[in-house]
Amino acid sequence: MGRYTVQFSCHQCVHCCTNLVVLPTPQDVINITKATGLPPRQFLEFLAPEEIDEVAASDPTWLRCNGRRYIMALKRDTRRGCHFLDKRKKMCKIYEHRPILCQLFPYKLQETRNGEFRGFTLHKDTGCPLHRDDVAETAPLYEAYLEDQEHQDDYQELVRVFNQKRYADKRPEDFLAMFVTEK
Ligand code: SF4
Ligand code: SF4
């Protein structure tokens, strides 16, 4: 691993787009909606804890509705994968506008003890074959990471406000009205 580059190349096996759940931020949802014109309900789902193991109960992005909790995810079919995956062509249909989480997969940020940027390595145990036959620059990855951090902060604040709301028929889909206008 170097500070300015990381050895990796994606061989488009589409394992990640088929088998992993993607949790977009509201900003990701806004970007996709603007770029595609699709209403968010068409490409989002709200998962209950029994439908997703990867997110800790303490995660601040759980939406709380009348004693239940849900998390916002891109719709995914267990066989066909992500809503935006073109499985025949092995490509993302919204590649330029995909969530930052997708842009950063499978890179893993490395920081010093003082929280300073040290470089990127690769996440292990995700099922990605982690081919290292090319080199990616870390500067754009770090920019994307910092942008995502800002979006995550805004996301958590929106969820905090949403979770304070109390009414009888509260549903996780109501969260969308806090950042997009639905037609
Ligand atoms: S949005 Fe695109 S890159 Fe992200 S999981 Fe779906 S198909 Fe893959
Ligand atoms: S799992 Fe790895 S190699 Fe396969 S499509 Fe995803 S990033 Fe590329």
- For the beta carbon of residue 76, count every other beta carbon within 10 angstroms: 20
**How many angstroms separate the alpha carbon of residue 109 from the centre of ligand 1?**
20
The token duo for 180 is: 């997009």
Q: Do residues 40 and 173 make contact, with C-beta atoms less than 8 angstroms apart?
A: no
Largest CA distance in the chain: 55
Q: Do residues 71 and 9 make contact, with C-beta atoms less than 8 angstroms apart?
A: no
Type of residue at 72: M
Residue 81: which H helix or E strand, with range? strand 81-82
Please tell me the predicted confidence (pLDDT) of residue 1: 55
- Minimum-distance ligand to the CA of 32? 1
Domain boundaries, the chain: 5-171
**How many angstroms separate the alpha carbon of residue 113 from the centre of ligand 1?**
32
User: How far is Cα 99 from Cα 181, in angstroms, rounded to an integer?
Assistant: 19
pTM: predicted TM-score of the whole model, two decimal places: 0.95
**How many angstroms separate the alpha carbon of residue 178 from the centre of ligand 1?**
24
What's 4's DSSP letter?
S
β-strand 107-111 against 91-92: which pairing, if any? unpaired
Please tell me the predicted confidence (pLDDT) of residue 182: 75
Is the CB of 17 within 6 Å of ligand 1? yes
Is the CB of 16 within 6 Å of ligand 2? yes
Please tell me the predicted confidence (pLDDT) of residue 44: 98
Q: What is the pLDDT along the chain (183 residues), one digit of tens a residue?
A: 579 999 999 999 999 999 999 999 999 999 999 999 999 999 999 999 999 998 999 999 999 999 999 999 999 998 899 999 999 999 999 999 999 999 999 999 999 999 899 999 999 999 999 999 999 999 999 999 999 999 999 999 999 999 999 999 999 999 999 999 876
